[in-house]
Chain A
Amino acid sequence: MLRLADVRRSYRVGPVTAEVLRGVDLEVGAGDLLSIMGPSGSGKTTLMNIIGLLDRPSSGACLLDGRDVAGLRDDELSALRNRHIGFVFQSFHLLPQLTALENVCLPLVYRGMARPEMRRRAAAVLESVGMAERTGHRPDQLSGGQKQRVAIARALVGEPALLLADEPTGALDTDTAAEVMGLIRRLNAERGITVLIITHDPSVAGQCARQTRIQGGRLFEPGAAAPSRA
């Protein structure tokens, strides 16, 4: 469902060009649960932004469902993000002025859905992540774990094929982190959602069927048949 081929990304900072990704190859199949580990500054977020269609590679191809996204216009990328990708961030990124339910509605708002339908679906997804009692709360009235559940509900409400989570447990204590990971695994197992988790935490990575590392701008998958090292 997702394929990266020799993806490179470099930033120009003043006169120097820093190459953060130096030829990443990756193939993700439907229903995969895959972790990406790597030291800080190794380019994990950069990679996720490219997979999440927020950024474009400097060179190389990114194919979503077999379709190269390189030539797409900004509006088309927005629509693809809206329908096919769900984001979960380390710092939750809920809108503070909106209730849990309204936050979860947002992806559907940009799909142009009618309000009652939207709220019905958002409520259902909140219930499925165990937040049925808190739909009217604002983010500042929720704990970290509850915020991340709302964020996961928001990522899921549009029924995307791919869930991208950038350090989803990074801001949570151990117990809450375990709960959130349990939820993500359950969604992967029960709904067959493809999940990419970026993490620092080996115990989080350990719960993923496929584990990869990013190092020196390239992606390695130790447990798998050796990827081409060309």
Chain B
Amino acid sequence: MSRTLSVLGANAREAAESLRRARLRTVLGLVGIMIGISSVIAMVSLGEIAREQARKQFEALGTDIVIVRKGQGGRVRAIALADAVQLAAAVPSITEAAPRISGRGQFEFAGRKVGRGAIQGVTRSFASVNRLSLQAGRFVSDLDTDRYYAVIGAEVADAMRGGRAVDSLLGGIVEVDEALFTVAGVLDRKQEGYALPVRVKADKSVFIPITTSQRIAPEPGVEVIVARSAAGVHYETAVRDIRSWFRKRAPGLSLDIVTAKQLIAQMESQMGIFTLLLGAVGSISLIVGGIGIMNIMLVSVAERRVEIAIRRALGARQRDIRSQFLIESVILTVTGGALGVLLGLAATWAICRFTDWEFLVSGLSVASGLGTAAAVGLFFGFQPAHQASRLDPIAGLQGK
């Protein structure tokens, strides 16, 4: 009696275990497909989003932009302000050059703290080179040398005026880290792309004349020069001219010059690494998920030998049985794939939030995700389906 009970108990436990295992296998298989497909989705959508972003960047920034910084090494410690200011006039292949010195500080207006932000010392050219426009007043001018005028970014201005008209700020006094400036202008809001290595963040900044900035917070030199090459000049020519001019003015100064073309190339190589990583994660999960699916299907075929035999007796051809099981495995993988598409889009959205890119759902990515899922289902489902189609119906009918 007690032996019978314990055998029964063991059988029941085994049956429950095998069910649980089967379910775990199904879930693992689907999770593998899901992660794989979400990587595919993220890979394809991020690729498209980055391309779109680059295109917009090109449009907004122009392909003629050249960014000059001090490089590593060299005997000279900094780009001198005087040299930076003269660059555009002295080098014919450069039309404009906007040097910048920047720091951070606390702003006060009308005795009230309005928050922290960037203080950027710039010249007149900075507005045109970076395509900044004004809602009121004027930008920093060449006549402002050493004077205490400030141009306010849109968000800082909003915090200062608290509902009053923009014009009311003009002529007001803003206190920037204890130095007092007269407000000369207020900027328009400015959307910013991500590819620029020089972040302007105009909305959260206060711009002052670069000479003034060097007086209140002495810096060894210019942090960066954003320049534009002349129309029809190859960017490599501009780079060569800049280097040779600085070699004369400041022998021993090493420069780090980046052009728009290089920026795009850099971004693409970054995307390449990203894509490679996602591709690797994606294909590994798809293989693991595919093997899981194959396992699920093999078990299903074994469990349904009688059903297969009945269908064969009623007139199902081998290919009917094969397609039945192939369809099942494709349904499984496409279900996993659809979940993966959602997960992948969510991940893409999160990455876009993080990087300030503009999120978009690309039809291509959804189609390629579902297509890949179906292909995995066909590939890994083939062997089980083939096996099912070749089962001997006589053995199946006898329950063997």
Residues of A within 8 A of B (CB): 45, 49, 52, 54-55, 74-75, 78-79, 81-83, 87, 89, 91, 93, 95, 106-107, 110-111, 154, 158
User: With a CB–CB cut-off of 8 A, which chain B residues contact A74?
Assistant: 317-318
Q: Is B316 interfacial (CB 8 A cutoff)?
A: yes
Q: Is the CB of B312 within 8 A of A78?
A: yes
Contact with A along B316-355 (1 / 0, CB 8 A): 1111100000000000000000000000000000000000
The interface residues of chain B lying within 8 Å CB-to-CB of A91 are 399
Q: Which of B52-60, B123-131, B253-261, B303-311 lies at the interface with chain A?
A: B303-311
CA distance A89 to B310 in the complex (A): 10
Does the CB pair B394–A49 fall under 8 Å?
yes
B394–A79 touching, CB < 8 Å: no
Quick one: which of B307, B310, B314 contacts A82, CB cutoff 8 A? B314
Q: How far is the CA of A87 from the CA of B311 in the complex (A)?
A: 11
Q: Which residues of A contact B311 (CB under 8 A)?
A: 106, 110
Show the binding face of B for A, using Cβ within 8 Å.
306-307, 310-320, 393-394, 397-399
| Cα–Cα distance between A111 and B310 once the two chains are bound (Å) | 15
- Count of chain A to chain B residue pairs whose CB atoms are closer than 8 Å in the complex: 51
In the complex, which residues of chain B have a beta carbon less than 8 angstroms from the beta carbon of A107? 314-315
A160 and B306 CA atoms in complex are apart in Å by 23
* B324–chain A nearest beta-carbon distance, Å: 10
How distant is A110 from chain B, measured CB to nearest CB, in Å?
4
**A54 and B315 within 8 A (CB):** no
The residues of A that contact B318 with a CB separation of less than 8 Å are 74-75, 78
Point out the residues of chain B lying under 8 angstroms from A75, CB to CB.
317-319
CB-CB under 8 A from A52, the residues of chain B are: 313
Residue contact A106 to B314, C-beta cutoff 8 Å: yes
Bound Cα distance from A52 to B393, whole angstroms: 11
Shortest Cβ distance from A112 into B: residue: B320
Alpha-carbon distance between A82 and B310 when the two chains are bound, in angstroms: 12
Known: A75-B319, A106-B310. 6 other contacts (CB 8 A): A78-B312, A78-B317, A79-B317, A81-B313, A82-B314, A93-B306
Question: Which of B307, B315, B319, B398 sits near A81, CB closer than 8 Å?
Answer: B315
16 A/B residue pairs, CB under 8 Å, sorted by A: A52-B313, A54-B313, A54-B393, A54-B394, A78-B318, A79-B315, A79-B317, A82-B314, A83-B315, A87-B313, A91-B399, A93-B313, A107-B314, A110-B316, A110-B320, A154-B314
Q: Which residue of B lies closest to A157 (CB)?
A: B314
Q: Give the distance to chain A from B200, nearest Cβ to Cβ, in Å.
A: 65
Minimum Cβ distance to chain B for residue A7 (Å): 16
- Are A55 and B394 also in contact (CB < 8 A) when A93-B306, A95-B307, A110-B320 are? yes
Flag if B317 contacts A110 (CB, 8 Å): yes
In the assembled complex, the Cα of A48 lies from the Cα of B311 at a distance in Å of 17
Q: Establish whether residues A110 and B394, one from each chain, have CB atoms under 8 Å apart when the complex forms.
A: no
Cβ of A110 and Cβ of B397 under 8 Å apart? no
* Distance, CA A87 to CA B397, complexed state (A): 11
The distance in angstroms between the C-alpha atoms of A210 and B359, with both chains bound, is 79
Q: How far is the CA of A158 from the CA of B316 in the complex (A)?
A: 13
Which B residues are in CB contact (< 8 Å) with A54?
312-313, 393-394, 397
- Bound Cα distance from A11 to B397, whole angstroms: 17
Measured CA separation A52–B312 after assembly (Å): 11
Chain A residues with CB under 8 A of B320:
110
User: With A and B bound together, what is the CA distance between A95 and B303 in angstroms?
Assistant: 13
Minimum CB distance partner of B311 in chain A: A106
Judging by beta carbons under 8 Å apart, are B315 and A110 in contact? yes
Give A93 to B396 CA distance when docked, in angstroms. Answer: 11
Min C-beta distance of B384 to chain A, whole Å = 19
Chain B residue contacts of A78, Cβ below 8 A = 312, 315-318
> Whole-angstrom distance from the CB of B390 to the nearest CB of chain A?
10
Bound CA span A202–B310, Å: 28
List the A residue with the shortest CB-CB distance to B307. Answer: A95
Q: Within the complex, what minimum Cβ distance (angstroms) separates B327 from chain A?
A: 13
Closest 9 A/B residue pairs (Cβ): A82-B315, A110-B315, A78-B317, A107-B314, A93-B310, A75-B317, A110-B316, A81-B315, A106-B314
A154 to B313, CA, bound (A): 12
A212 to nearest B CB, angstroms?
22
| A79 partner residues in chain B, CB cutoff 8 A | 315, 317
Complex formed: what's the CA distance from A78 to B312 in Å? Answer: 7
Partner of B310, one of A49, A95, A158: A95
Contact of A93 among B316, B317, B394, B397 (CB under 8 A): B397
> Would you give the shortest CB distance from A159 to chain B, in whole angstroms?
13
A111 to B311, CA, bound (A): 12
Instruction: Tell me the complex Cα distance, A54–B397, Å.
Output: 10
A99 → B minimal CB distance (Å): 15
